Chain A
Amino acid sequence: MQRISHATRKKWERIAVNGVILTVLLFAMIPIATTLLISFKREQDVIRKPPVIFPCDTSEKAFDLRACRWSIEGYLRVLAPKPSSKSPLGFALTGNMLRIYLPNTLLYATVTAFIVVILAGMSGYAFSRFHFRGYKFLMTAILAITGVPLLTNLLALYQMSVTLRKAHLPFWDDRIFIIIVYIGFYLPLSVWIAKGFFDAIPRELEEAALIDGCTPLCALWRVIMPLAMPGLTSIFLLTFVNVWNEFIAAYLLIAKNEYKTAMFGLYDFLGQNIVNVQVIAAACIIIAAPVVILFLFTRRTFFRAMVEGAVKG
């Protein structure tokens, strides 16, 4: 008899805990949900006083599902499709966001993440497998660099970017500079994370390969790399998202409009359309959607890099 009451109490407790978590989640989702709602509203519904949550009221009823006035006006104004004879679809998206800013962001994020993975993989492997002279010093130095705030370095980097721009070097433009800067920003932590991943791979595997006649580089490539791949993927994703989301460096270091990033585009919208919030909301959704989708599909990989990075600070 007592056991049954205990079981029911457990059941009720579980329902209560789930309920509390769902409430917390609901509150956490409110800002995102409202942004989604706003992005699908028309201008007439956005600028109403007092504001309405759902654009579904008619003159008779406060909420009528059939009378909802959803629209994609905000998205259309961000993407600005124009009829075009050249494009196969019959129209071309002419908004700066999709034409300039998002491709730039994608380019910077991909290239940076790729190079960071290679460099962090190389030095992480070296730090994990060899105890050479200056090992401790370099490891501590890289950790100390992690602590230099981005903002501190931006002053000097800004001066550097101005000087380099004036120097008119061949093949040089702000894109190369910002990618180098991003690599430098995200490399130190990645090195530490990579070292952690390599430390987890048993040394014996490599030694076996060496005995079987593999050179050290061959052992690295054939034996260690496949095992380190999940870890390196998580470094790639973490760096990709970090660069995608970065604002202040891109805002300050890139001068030409056609090299600017999506986050700058968003900030720019804020200046232009303070009243047309549906446009800002749509821009937010368009920029955030790729990384959120990427995260939902690869969350395990993300958490791995995060836990590894968090322990090191």
Chain B
Amino acid sequence: MSRIALIQPKKRRFRNALPFWLILPTIIVLLIVQVYPALYTMWLSFHEREPKGWEYVGLRNFQRLFHQSLFHESIGHTIVFLVGYASLTMIAGFFIALLLNRKLRLSGLYITLLFIPWILADIIAGMVFRLLVIPDYGLLAGFLQNPTIFPPKGLSVLTAVPPHPWFGSFPFPPAPAMILLILASSWRALPFITLLLLAAMQTVPTEVIESSRIDGANGWQIVRFIMTPLMLPTMVVALFSLILTGVNSVGMIFSLTGGGPGTSTEVLSYLLYTIGWSQLRFGRAASLALIMAIVNWLLISGTLRLTRVEERSR
């Protein structure tokens, strides 16, 4: 009896401390790899390397960044890229999901095959698309560089200069290399978005669809007025995740275009690399990183709020 009484508090203390010990290693790793670097980046954004060491420069890094013409240009590139990439992937993903939703015998096989691009590394995906259009030797180059199809001289995607912008200095219409980058990124992101939308589509109750069909709705009306509203939360989540990966992905640019030709595919994430590691201006790069982190954080908290709303409404 007395032995049990002695053991009991000890056991309880162990039980109370158990979650703490289970989580501790995770917290330590995250403090080292995520929290400390994030704080360090903040510190870095107010400093610049001088010959004698790091020196506090206040907001000068941000000011210089905002005055850099490449920064404005790459905001334009990022917007063009994001709009093209997100809309193309969403629309294509939605239609493929619609097709796959029809309980076909081979759906599983189709999904598996469709998924292979997603499993490829972004740098490999970029390389694969680059091989298609390498000047003179790429398999599509024969078609694209044909002067009768693309007058006057044919189109060499990786070296063609961007067309003259229509609106001031905003880079629209995009350079051929940017279109290729959008295509390659969409190609890789498409499977994931398709699966996400397909999963949402399958939660739309069949009774609702059937009853609307009896009421005389055609296929387009069912998609537009029944499925889309019910799938809206998932579509928003998909869109946000697309934008998020689009803002942050950089590997594909390395292997596909290297930011070029000129600076026509230099998006913000690649600009961060250029400022940081090509120009070795870590302070200025840190201020850009901070801006990007804030954009990210806003996007994520937005997504989270929306998913929470969705959970509550269920």
Q: Chain B residues with Cβ under 8 A from A17's Cβ?
A: 99, 102, 104
Mark interface residues in A138-154 (1 if CB within 8 Å of B CB, else 0): 10001111111111111
Q: Chain B residues with Cβ under 8 A from A281's Cβ?
A: 131
Instruction: Give the docked Cα–Cα distance between A132 and B22 (Å).
Output: 12
Q: Which of B60-68, B109-117, B167-175, B206-214 contacts A (4 or more CB under 8 A)?
A: B109-117
Instruction: Give the docked Cα–Cα distance between A170 and B190 (Å).
Output: 46
Q: Is A205 in the interface zone, CB < 8 Å from B?
A: no
Mark interface residues in B181-205 (1 if CB within 8 Å of A CB, else 0): 0000001001010011001000000
Q: Is B128 in the interface zone, CB < 8 Å from A?
A: yes
Q: Is B179 in the interface zone, CB < 8 Å from A?
A: no
Q: Is the CB of B22 within 8 A of A125?
A: yes
Instruction: Give the docked Cα–Cα distance between A249 and B247 (Å).
Output: 17
Q: Is the CB of A311 within 8 A of B307?
A: yes
Q: Is the CB of B128 within 8 A of A32?
A: yes
B-facing residues in A6-28 (Cβ within 8 Å): 14, 17-18, 20-21, 24-25, 28
Q: Is the CB of B41 within 8 A of A46?
A: no
Nearest chain-A residue to B145 (Cβ)? A50
Q: Is the CB of B44 within 8 A of A123?
A: no
Q: Chain B residues with Cβ under 8 A from A231's Cβ?
A: none
Q: Is the CB of B38 within 8 A of A313?
A: no
How far in angstroms is the closest Cβ of chain A from B202? Answer: 12
Q: Chain B residues with Cβ under 8 A from A291's Cβ?
A: 119-120
Q: Which of A60-68, A77-85, A91-99, A182-190 contacts B (4 or more CB under 8 A)?
A: A182-190
Nearest chain-B residue to A295 (Cβ)? B119
Q: Is B226 in the interface zone, CB < 8 Å from A?
A: no
How far in angstroms is the closest Cβ of chain A from B106? Answer: 7
Instruction: Give the docked Cα–Cα distance between A181 and B37 (Å).
Output: 11
Known A148-B296, A152-B292; contact A18-B255, beta-carbon cutoff 8 A: no
B-facing residues in A72-118 (Cβ within 8 Å): none
Q: Is B166 in the interface zone, CB < 8 Å from A?
A: no
Q: Is B32 in the interface zone, CB < 8 Å from A?
A: yes
Q: Does more than half of chain B's interface fall in helix, strand or loop, or is it mixed?
A: helix
Q: Is B80 in the interface zone, CB < 8 Å from A?
A: no
Q: Chain A residues with Cβ under 8 A from B300's Cβ?
A: 143-144, 146-147, 313
Q: Is the CB of A21 within 8 A of B36?
A: no
Instruction: Give the docked Cα–Cα distance between A292 and B131 (Å).
Output: 20
Please pick, from A31, A120, A266, A292, the residue contacting B119 in the complex, using a CB distance under 8 A. Answer: A292
Mark interface residues in B145-169 (1 if CB within 8 Å of A CB, else 0): 0000000000000000000000000
Please pick, from A51, A150, A191, A303, the residue contacting B26 in the complex, using a CB distance under 8 A. Answer: A191
Among B23, B99, B106, residue most surrounded by chain A Cβ atoms (within 10 Å) = B23
Among B27, B241, B299, residue most surrounded by chain A Cβ atoms (within 10 Å) = B27
Among B116, B237, B292, residue most surrounded by chain A Cβ atoms (within 10 Å) = B116
How far in angstroms is the closest Cβ of chain A from B38? Answer: 6
Please pick, from A49, A155, A188, A277, the residue contacting B285 in the complex, using a CB distance under 8 A. Answer: A155
Nearest chain-B residue to A149 (Cβ)? B248
Q: Is the CB of B119 within 8 A of A152?
A: no
Q: Is A235 in the interface zone, CB < 8 Å from B?
A: no
Q: Is the CB of B139 within 8 A of A266?
A: no
Instruction: Give the docked Cα–Cα distance between A275 and B44 (Å).
Output: 41
Known A51-B141, A181-B33, A310-B237; contact A155-B44, beta-carbon cutoff 8 A: yes
How far in angstroms is the closest Cβ of chain B from A304? Answer: 12
Q: Chain B residues with Cβ under 8 A from A123's Cβ?
A: 22-23, 25-26
Q: Is the CB of A303 within 8 A of B195?
A: yes
Known A24-B99, A184-B32, A311-B307; contact A29-B26, beta-carbon cutoff 8 A: no
Nearest chain-A residue to B31 (Cβ)? A184
A-B contact count (CB 8 A): 262
Q: Is the CB of A50 within 8 A of B117?
A: no
Instruction: Give the docked Cα–Cα distance between A244 and B102 (Å).
Output: 35
B-facing residues in A200-257 (Cβ within 8 Å): 216-217, 241, 244-248, 252
Q: Chain B residues with Cβ under 8 A from A181's Cβ?
A: 33
Q: Is A263 in the interface zone, CB < 8 Å from B?
A: yes
Known A49-B136, A247-B251; contact A31-B29, beta-carbon cutoff 8 A: no
Q: Chain A residues with Cβ under 8 A from B33's Cβ?
A: 153, 157, 180-181, 183-185
Q: Is A287 in the interface zone, CB < 8 Å from B?
A: yes
A-facing residues in B259-314 (Cβ within 8 Å): 269, 272-273, 276-277, 282, 285-286, 289-290, 292-293, 296-297, 299-301, 303-304, 307
Among A18, A21, A126, A156, residue most surrounded by chain B Cβ atoms (within 10 Å) = A156
Q: Is the CB of A31 within 8 A of B104?
A: no
Q: Is B123 in the interface zone, CB < 8 Å from A?
A: yes
Q: Chain A residues with Cβ under 8 A from B121's Cβ?
A: 244-247, 263, 287-288
Q: Chain B residues with Cβ under 8 A from A246's Cβ?
A: 121
A-facing residues in B91-115 (Cβ within 8 Å): 96, 99-100, 102, 104, 106, 110, 112-115
Across the A-B interface, the 10 shortest Cβ-Cβ residue pairs? A184-B33, A245-B121, A156-B37, A156-B40, A50-B142, A126-B22, A126-B19, A147-B300, A130-B19, A153-B37
- Known pairs A24-B99, A28-B187 / 10 extra A-B pairs, C-beta < 8 Å: A25-B110, A29-B113, A31-B187, A123-B22, A148-B296, A151-B269, A151-B289, A156-B44, A159-B282, A187-B29
Q: Which B residues lie at the A interface, using CB under 8 A?
A: 14-16, 18-20, 22-23, 25-27, 29-30, 32-38, 40-41, 44, 96, 99-100, 102, 104, 106, 110, 112-117, 119-125, 127-132, 134, 136-139, 141-142, 187, 190, 192, 195-196, 199, 237, 240-241, 247-248, 250-251, 254-255, 269, 272-273, 276-277, 282, 285-286, 289-290, 292-293, 296-297, 299-301, 303-304, 307
